[in-house]
Amino acid sequence: GCTSLKEVKVGTLVGDLGEKAFHGCSNLTSVEFARGPQKIGSKLFTLADNLENFVVGEGASEISNNVFHAYKVVYTQSPWGGTQVEEVDIDRQALKRVVLPESLQKIGSEAFYRCTSLSELTIPQGVTSIGASAFHGCAGLSNIEVPNGVTGLAAKTFGGCSSLENIALPNG
């Protein structure tokens, strides 16, 4: 992994940011894009558990599923001998702030799943689709405004958001 990497600042990224691009960057605390990327790949920050700040610039249109997926690997001895390896979902506790561009149109399923400390997030007005469990378990969110272009909410979009006091839904 890229365990020495602490901060990423990119001027412009026109293309896509692929799956698991920052996998294993365990000391990464901040990622900022002035412009782009167009699509943010799934499981982008697996095993990058210290990420606190994520800023996406204009030009991005999609956040894929499970972008902030967090897990630990558990090894257990099986009764018949040998070792079983299992990935167990855990809370992502460090992420506090996410800035998304107005160009964003889609937030995928479980995109911010179990980001328990996330407290600073505005869903841009350009968003028209929010996937199932997109913000499930985001216990730090207290207020959220769903943009006018969103015509429905998938299952458990805000499930487990125990501090959520106010959800402003679009008129219609």
Helix (H, G, I), strand (E, B) or coil at 112: coil
Cα dihedral 57, 64, 49, 32 in deg (nearest 10): -10
Is 172 a residue whose pLDDT tops 60? no
Distance CA 161, CA 131 (A): 16
Is 169 a residue whose pLDDT tops 80? yes
Give the pLDDT band (50/70/90) at residue 1. Answer: low
pLDDT tens for 75-113 read 888 787 888 888 777 788 899 999 999 999 999 999 999
- Name every residue whose Cβ is closer than 8 Å to that of residue 95 and which is 6 or more positions away in sequence: 51, 52, 53, 54, 68, 112, 115, 117, 118
pLDDT tens for 8-35 read 998 887 688 888 999 889 999 999 988 8
What pairing do the DSSP bridges indicate for beta strands 83-89 and 71-77?
antiparallel
Distance CA 100, CA 96 (A): 13
pTM for the complete prediction?
0.85
Helix (H, G, I), strand (E, B) or coil at 6: coil
